[in-house]
Amino acid sequence: MTRLLSIPLLLICVSGTFAQVEPGTLTPSAKKQKRLVLFPVLVKSPEYLWGAGVAGTYFFRLWQDSTTRTSNIKNVTFYTLRNQLVFASDGTIYFPHEKFILHILASFSHFPDRFWGIGNETPSSNMESYSISQYNFYPRLLRRVFSDFYLGVTYEFQNVYDFTYNQDGTSLFDTQNVIGRYGGKISGAGFLLTWDSRNNAFSSSKGLYVQYYSGFYRDTFGSDFNFTIRNLDIRKYFSLTRRTVLAFQLNLVNTTSGTPVRDLASIGSSSYMRGYYDGRYADHTMVALQTELRIPIYGRWGMTTFAGIGRVGSSLENALQFVNLKPSIGLGVRYALRPREKLNLRVDAGFGKDSQGTYINIGEAF
* Helical H segments across the chain, by residue range: 28-31, 172-175, 316-319
pLDDT at 16: 31
Q: What does the pLDDT average to over 205-217?
A: 96
Q: What is the 3-state secondary structure (H, E, C) of 331-359?
A: EEEEEEEEHHHCEEEEEEEEEECCEEEEE
Segment holding 60, helix H or strand E: strand 49-60
**Tens-digit pLDDT profile for residues 234-275:** 999 999 998 899 999 999 999 999 999 999 999 988 888 999
CA distance 295 to 332: 10
| pLDDT for 34 beyond 80 | no
Give the chain's domains with CATH numbers: 3-362 (2.40.160.50)
pLDDT at 70: 83
**Tens-digit pLDDT profile for residues 117-157:** 999 999 999 999 999 999 999 999 999 998 899 999 999 99
The pTM score is 0.84
Q: What does the pLDDT average to over 311-322?
A: 94
- CA distances 42 to 6, 117, 358, Å, are 15, 30, 13
Q: Which amino acid is at 290?
A: Q
Query: 229, 259 in Cβ contact below 8 A?
Result: yes
Q: Which amino acid is at 46?
A: P
User: How many CB atoms are located within 10 Å of the residue 84 CB?
Assistant: 20
Q: DSSP secondary-structure letter at 242?
A: S
pLDDT at 26: 39
